[in-house]
């Protein structure tokens, strides 16, 4: 369950977000019933971009690719 955004604060989401599930999380946020005005938000992936407690740029690159694909697919659906 994705909790509603705070009305007066910039809201973010965290907790287990990683390359394999980032598109699913974005979809849940974007399609939540309370998200009718498409307010901006952020996602926090502190542990989702680490391997053996080390920051991993390859995981960051995969996150970016997966987010890009998610939004490209979403824009194609709207055509």
Q: How do residues 7-57 score in pLDDT, each as one tens digit?
A: 777 888 888 999 999 999 999 888 887 777 777 888 998 899 999 999 999
> For the purposes of burial, counting CB atoms within 10 Å of the CB of 57, is it exposed (0-12), middle (13-18) or buried (19 or more)?
exposed
Cα 47 to Cα 27: distance, rounded to the nearest angstrom = 20
Give the chain's largest Cα–Cα span: 42
* pTM listed for this prediction: 0.80
């Amino acid at each position: 369950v994705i909790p509603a955004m705070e009305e007066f604060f910039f809201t973010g989401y965290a907790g287990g977000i990683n390359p394999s599930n980032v598109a699913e999380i974005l979809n849940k946020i974007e399609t939540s019933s309370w998200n009718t005005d498409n307010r901006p938000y952020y996602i926090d992936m502190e542990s989702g971009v680490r391997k053996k407690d080390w920051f991993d740029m390859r995981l960051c690159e995969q996150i970016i690719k997966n987010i890009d694909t998610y939004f490209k697919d979403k824009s194609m659906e709207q055509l």
